Amino acid sequence: MATPSLSALVEAYQAGQLSLPALLVDALTERGVVPPDQHADDLQWIARMREEGHLDAGVAQLVCERLEVLQRAGEEVASVLAASEADEATCVAPSVRSTPIAFHADEATRVAPPMLPATDDAPADQATVVKPASVQPEATRTGVTGSRTAGGTGSIDAAAWQGLADVASSDQATIGMLLKGRFLIEREIGRGGMGVVFLARDERKVEARDRDPYVAVKVLNDEFRRHPDSLIALQRESRRSQQLAHDNIVRVYDFDKDGTIVFMTMEYVDGSDLKTLIRESAFRGMPLARARPLIEGMARALKRAHDAGVVHSDFKPGNVMVTCEGMPKVFDFGIARAGKQPGEAAEDQTVFDAGRLGALTPAYASLEMIQGRPPQATDDIYALGCVAFELLTGKHPFDRVSAEVAMREGRKPPAVPGLTRRQYRTLCDAVAFTAAQRLKSADQLVEGLRDVGLGERLGRPLAWTLVGVLLLAVAGWGALGQWRARQVAEVASRFQTASPRHFGDEAEAAAALEQLGEDGRKRLMLDRGDQVQQFLLDRVDAYWNPAKGRRDYAAAERVFELPARLHLFLPRLDLRRAAVEKEKQELDRPAMVKASPAPVPALPPQSTPVPPPVPVQQTRAPATQAPAATPGRTPSNEKHEAAGSSSRMQEVAAGLLREGERNFAQQNYSAAIANAKAALQVNPGDAAARRLLRRAQQAQQQAMNSISIN
């Protein structure tokens, strides 16, 4: 295919077939280097077109400048582009800030040579047109990086860097070389478009007996060194990486030069880059559970940079190291661009921005980067999404074509096995072509790839429904509790003698207690147990009080049976029952004595007359003498009744003792002492009651002694 002439390209621009960026970048770059005679003729033709008014003066100036730069850097550009075909290297290439763009390699980072300043008579629409990068005047450049912040020796300003860039050829770093009398180069561990990375031993660390004296040394190659502003870019990488201290970012120690060798020392990462890991271990993809630590680590690194106002702008698998422990570490911030942050000092706004070099990797560059828009965090989110797709599927989501080409061809990301719809939608949002549709932060990608439980998958409506049902259940339970509380309070009030609805007898009270249920009765006994006992004691007194002539023992027995039937513990009522039974026995004994007839002595057989009987005065039997047996009441029955009374007394004492033990366990020592004394009144010989009384009194004394009054 014949190379188009300059006149044909300019006519295509004037006819509207080519935009100005497409003419300056794509068309003239593809046209390439021409012989010197033809180059001179082209410049004369452009000058004649401008003088005759056929071509705008500003456009003519830009075309001439572009032709001059391409002619000077032609051989250099060709060699670098040939090297970038094989890998994802950071290369020195013509600026890529227009649309459409044609790249020779999909994974090569392009850095464009600068252009001379545009003249004042440039077209008015150049404010919104992405032009080739321009070199600032020396007055502006001087002092931009006036002192090294990376910790090297001495001061290196822009003029010194320019002097290094003007050197035709520099010394070569070789194995065994000692840089700056400190860093002993041992072996090469990596190579890219910016330079070569060596493993070096820091002799100062060796002298200090450091257990890990090794560092990585990045030596700038001639192609990048001779590129204007490239040295400042590398110095900026050192400074920026130091400011972005993070576990997932490779630490940078120093930026320095040794003669014409410019190098940077950084943390040595024992592992491999992510590109190699994908090629060797994930060429068919890896499960999300295995890829998640890598994705989250890279996301944390980018978030740290974004929080500091820094956009990496060249994030890709080749710029991520993975340690032997599986921790990802992001590096190569040399072409990162500082995002504009509100409130920055004026001097920070004029600091060198590597974005002016036109650096990007097409396969991982967002549409906004290709169009030359200002850097933003979503540029890195697009690259991170592409890397995540590569980890999970083993291939680039758009087959390594640029975002512009993928959008024009209507390409869609491939399906990812094993992901939920939510997770896949998050990945697709990360690689959305436009920033408005793309995820806004790395945290959103991490959150979207998180495994969610069943509750989250069912969604918020069901969750709110469950919350509503729970609230209704709680409200219903509360209402039921309030109703039961009112019912208990109403029953308790009827045990008071002053209440107009006072219970008339024990039967009415028993019916009300049965309606409360066992829980209600327990609550009533806790709150008003004394009133219930007093009511029942009054009912017993109404039936049994020999001093007042009331001896209805059967009715009193019905009252005594209520606690057992309703499962109530009423110790005072049990004591009263024992007293009533004892009183009844005492009252029954004189009646039994009076009812028994006097015994008639048998007459012995005698032959003599029987003397008349001597009148005997009836006296009361002594207290120790057992009463005479009455008809229908045998001594065995009396023994049985006495045994039953003793058994009931023991039950009462045992109940009091159990209640006292429960009080002691709750540290209610006063109640425990009272129950122990009551048990001793019922059963004076109860050893367990005495032990409980002694323990409770001792514990109560210890508790009182421990109280201090300030």
Three-point CA angle 444, 448, 449, nearest 5°: 120
CA atoms within a 13 Å half-sphere pointing along the CA-CB vector of 491: 25
DSSP classification of residue 364: G
Q: What are phi and psi of 19, to 5 degrees?
A: -80, 165
Answer for the pair 336, 237: CB distance below 8 angstroms, yes or no.
yes
DSSP classification of residue 363: G
Q: Is 262 helix (H, G, I), strand (E, B) or coil?
A: strand
Place of tokens 């004492």: 653
Establish whether the linkage from the previous residue to 461 is cis, with ω within 30° of 0.
no
- Known binding-site positions: 218
Answer for the pair 188, 200: CB distance below 8 angstroms, yes or no.
no
Report residue 615 CA to chain centroid gap. 111
How far apart CA 436 and CA 427 sit, in angstroms, is 15
Among 113, 15, 20, 19, residue whose Cα is nearest residue 60: 20
Q: How far apart are the first and last CA of the chain?
A: 104
Answer for the pair 271, 324: CB distance below 8 angstroms, yes or no.
yes
Place of tokens 């009423």: 570
Among 191, 179, 166, 12, residue whose Cα is nearest residue 87: 191
User: What is the arrangement of strands in the sheet containing 183-191, beginning at the earlier edge strand?
Assistant: 178-179, 183-191, 195-202, 214-220, 261-267, 252-258
Among 168, 177, 211, residue whose Cα is nearest residue 196: 177
Per residue, the 3-state secondary structure of 375-436, as one string, reads: CCHHHHHHHHHHHHHHHHHCCCCCCCCCHHHHHHCCCCCCCCCCCCHHHHHHHHHHCCCCCC
Residue 447: both structure tokens together: 């959150």
- Known binding-site positions for ATP: 218
Give residue 452's identity as a one-letter amino acid code: V
Per-residue b/e over 68-98, b at no fewer than 16 CB within 10 Å?
ebbbebeebbeebbebbeebbbbbbbbbbbb
How far apart CA 686 and CA 697 sit, in angstroms, is 17
Q: What are phi and psi of 273, to 5 degrees?
A: -75, 160
H/E stretch holding 619 reads none
For 192-306, strand residue ranges (E) read 195-202, 214-220, 252-258, 261-267, 271-273
Q: Is 333 helix (H, G, I), strand (E, B) or coil?
A: coil
Give the torsion sign (CA, 205, 209, 215, 219). Answer: positive
Q: Is 214 helix (H, G, I), strand (E, B) or coil?
A: strand
How far apart CA 34 and CA 51 sit, in angstroms, is 24
